[in-house]
Amino acid sequence: MSLLRPFELHRPATVEEACALLAALGDDAVPYAGGTELLLLMKEGLLRPRHLVDLKRIPGLDAIHDGDGRVALGATATHRTVERARLVHERVPIVASVARHVANVRVRNVGTVGGNLAFADPHSDLATLFLALDAAVDLASPRGRRTLALDELVRGPWETARAADELLTGVTLVPPPRVAAAYVKFGMHERPTLGIAVVLHLAGPAGAGGDEGGFCEPGDPTPGGGGSQNPPSSPPTLATLTRVVDARIAVGCVNPKPARAHDAEARLRGCDVAALEDVVSDVASLAAASADPADDIHGSADYKREMVAVFTRRALRIAAARAGRGARDARGAAVVAVPSYPYTVVA
Ligand SMILES: Cc1cc2nc3c(=O)[nH]c(=O)nc-3n(C[C@H](O)[C@H](O)[C@H](O)COP(=O)(O)OP(=O)(O)OC[C@H]3O[C@@H](n4cnc5c(N)ncnc54)[C@H](O)[C@@H]3O)c2cc1C
């Protein structure tokens, strides 16, 4: 690894100023956030920009806030900030849980949400998770602002729909009202070999109530528990959420870009939560059939396809247990025993 070549550091005070700099400096300039990817590429001599446009000092670009039923993560929010944000814990706890397991603490302390998505490394957790959560990505350029679905932003390995003078300004999530979710990632290298996100959208039996909102989450298996929507006096809702009305399964790291397993999702629609075990194998096979892996240092294409089946099965079983059909404790609350697998993180 060589030393960094000289460059000029620009410190704009606003998003507009940053975009104008990128437009004026053209191919010689790149945005700079945590630098965990950028500085590595520069040290390796793979990228030689003469101007870095530092985004970290733009006030508010790291903000995490809610409004209109949405949760917005600012582009320069670090993984660590996301992991610790109360709002994220309350509204989209699976996001906090995944953030806690990104990379190592050194990378989490400086690496940002925007840098992760803009870099579009296929071995990323966030893009896979955000795809399963129907997230939208906000961008700004001298031509104005636009919003893209996650799937539209990421075009392939290290390739996005972002124009050179465009900045990611944040990610917007609409916390789904009644869901059970799980993210399972596996890998023996620095970055994950495979990531599977499962989000089950739940409802009561046709015609029944069960409209209380909330996430069924790690360490908090009661739907709505820990969420801000349910006042403490709300009646328990476990019994009312008996059906899967919709589902998202996103497969990450093995495809050129994170991809939803649409056929596997369709197999889950309308299933009873209590009977999910009956379809787990079918769903896993459909997810594996939808994968488009290639041979690389993480393993052969055949191995990865098999691992998609194995880990879809595991993620779905964990999400199903979180949906409240697992064992119950003395008070009747679901107890989710999350198994541990070698080289695997369950979020
Ligand atoms: C050792 C290691 C392990 C890792 N493990 C994981 C893992 O387990 N899971 C995972 O998901 N990720 C992992 N990562 C990736 C990590 O999450 C990213 O490196 C980090 O989030 C990138 O953010 P950054 O702010 O450092 O980006 P930078 O390095 O500053 O920038 C990355 C790229 O994005 C561009 N960019 C940055 N911000 C913006 C913006 N707002 N708008 C437009 N373009 C922008 C830059 O120009 C550059 O091209 C790992 C990285 C390392 C180094």
Nearest atom in ligand 1 to 169's CA: 41
Domain count, the chain: 3
Q: Whose CA is nearest to atom 31 of ligand 1?
A: 115
- Binding site membership of 186 for ligand 1 (Cβ less than 6 Å): no
pLDDT of residue 272: 93
Whole-number Å distance between alpha carbons of 242 and 16: 48
Q: Do 190 and 169 fall within a single domain?
A: no
pLDDT of residue 131: 98
Q: If you average pLDDT over residues 139-149, what whole number do you get?
A: 98
pLDDT of residue 229: 36
User: Which helix or strand (DSSP H or E) is residue 213 part of?
Assistant: none
- What's the 110 CA to ligand 1 centre distance in angstroms? 9
- What is the per-residue pLDDT across 11-28, written as a single tens digit (0 to 9) for each? 999 999 999 999 999 999
- Binding site membership of 32 for ligand 1 (Cβ less than 6 Å): yes
DSSP β-bridge partners for residue 159: 156
Helical segments of 26-142, H only: 38-43, 79-84, 86-91, 93-99, 105-110, 113-119, 126-132
Q: Do 153 and 245 fall within a single domain?
A: no
Q: Do 158 and 74 fall within a single domain?
A: yes
Q: Whose CA is nearest to atom 10 of ligand 1?
A: 124
Domain around 41: 8-54
Nearest atom in ligand 1 to 101's CA: 8
CB distance 185 to 343 below 8 Å = no
Choose which residue among 42, 51, 116, 194 to substitute to test ligand 1 binding: the one with the highest number of ligand atoms within 8 A of its C-beta.
116
Q: Rounded to the nearest 5°, which phi and psi values hold at 147?
A: -125, 135
Q: Do 168 and 190 fall within a single domain?
A: no
pLDDT at residue 225 tops 50: no
In a domain? residue 240: yes
Q: Do 231 and 155 fall within a single domain?
A: no
Selected residue with higher pLDDT from 331 and 26: 26
Q: Do 233 and 147 fall within a single domain?
A: no
Kindly list the distances between the CA atom of residue 179 and the CA atoms of 112, 137, 247, 278, 288, in Å, as whole numbers in the listed order.
Answer: 26, 22, 9, 20, 23
- Binding site membership of 191 for ligand 1 (Cβ less than 6 Å): yes
Selected residue with higher pLDDT from 334 and 64: 64
Q: Do 212 and 327 fall within a single domain?
A: yes
- Binding site membership of 49 for ligand 1 (Cβ less than 6 Å): no
154-156 and 243-252 strand pairing: unpaired
Residue 220's pLDDT band (cuts 50, 70, 90): very low
Q: If you average pLDDT over residues 296-306, what whole number do you get?
A: 95
Q: Do 188 and 291 fall within a single domain?
A: yes
Whole-number Å distance between alpha carbons of 159 and 191: 18
- What is the per-residue pLDDT across 281-291, written as a single tens digit (0 to 9) for each? 999 999 999 99
CATH code where residue 41 lies: 3.30.43.10
In a domain? residue 318: yes
Q: If you average pLDDT over residues 39-62, what whole number do you get?
A: 97
- What's the 133 CA to ligand 1 centre distance in angstroms? 20
In a domain? residue 308: yes
Q: If you average pLDDT over residues 321-335, what whole number do you get?
A: 61
